[in-house]
């Protein structure tokens, strides 16, 4: 099977510039925190987390969670499943959840109450991308890289059927 080349939506240069801005903002907001715990949501956030974390001016530790989001046929209340939890105890820590993309918001609506119940000192969210046309219901994102249209985006950690994650730019592919 041959797959088409994704159409460039956000260039490497634009990503780099935006991450520097985000890192500056986050570093300022957490300037008085002793340490920040970055919780990356696997797999999609690994590239963004790597780049963002290296530009922060505040000391940061890194942990990961893996979640599976189900499609339309899922049982209500069972749309998201926790596949892997953090290794560290997040209680008393300043936690910043790092996501690749907020689509419907289902993942964060499941994740945030779960993390909040563990007593972090603070809990915020940072998403590289957001699809405003798709978000349903309440979901608060503190830091957003870019808003994207309602198309399937790949690259820079994002996949379609596990492909394209290693592309250095963000592109769109036909569904
Ligand atoms: P949610 O709908 O906000 O819960 O998003 C669920 C997850 O679906 C995201 O964290 C991504 O991993 C994935 N996802 C949603 N839209 C896209 C896309 O356009 N490209 C790649 N992955 C996506
Ligand atoms: Mg994801």
pLDDT digits (tens, 9 = 90+) for 148-175: 999 999 999 999 999 999 999 999 998 7
Task: Output the CA 99–ligand 1 centroid distance in Å.
Answer: 9
Matching residue, tokens 């046309």: 133
Read off the pLDDT band of 3 (50, 70, 90): low
Nearest Cα residue to atom 20 of ligand 1: 153
| Pocket flag, ligand 1, residue 145 (CB < 6 Å) | no
- 32-70 pLDDT, tens digit per residue, is 999 999 999 999 999 999 999 999 999 999 999 999 887
Residue 80 CA: which ligand is closest? 1
Which residues have a Cβ under 8 Å from the Cβ of 131 and sit 6 or more positions away?
Answer: 101, 102, 103, 147, 148, 149, 150
- Active site members: 103
Give, in degrees to the nearest 5, the angle at Cα 100 between 37 and 133: 130
Question: Which pTM was predicted?
Answer: 0.94
Helix or strand run (H / E) with residue 45: none
pLDDT tens, position by position, 86-134: 999 999 999 999 999 999 999 999 999 999 999 999 999 999 999 999 8
Token pair listed for 163: 């492909």
Report whether residue 106 contacts ligand 1, using a CB cutoff of 6 Å.
Answer: yes
Q: Residue 42: which of 100, 127, 116, 3 has the closest Cα?
A: 100
């Amino acid at each position: 099977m041959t797959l088409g080349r994704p159409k460039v939506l956000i260039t490497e240069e634009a990503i780099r510039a935006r991450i520097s801005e985000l890192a500056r903002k986050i570093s300022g907001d957490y300037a008085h925190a002793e340490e920040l715990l970055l919780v990356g949501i696997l797999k999609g956030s690994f590239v963004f987390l790597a780049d963002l974390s290296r530009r922060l001016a505040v000391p940061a530790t890194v942990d990961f969670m893996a979640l599976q989001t189900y499609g339309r046929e899922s049982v209500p209340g069972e749309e998201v499943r926790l596949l892997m939890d953090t290794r560290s105890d997040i209680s008393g820590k300043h936690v910043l959840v790092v996501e690749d993309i907020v689509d419907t918001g289902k993942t964060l609506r499941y994740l945030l109450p779960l993390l909040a119940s563990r007593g972090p000192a603070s809990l915020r969210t940072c998403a590289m991308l957001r699809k405003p046309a798709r978000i349903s219901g309440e979901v608060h994102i503190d830091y957003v890289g870019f808003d994207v249209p309602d198309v399937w985006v790949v690259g820079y950690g994002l996949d379609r059927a596990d492909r394209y994650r290693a592309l250095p730019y963000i592109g769109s592919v036909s569904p």
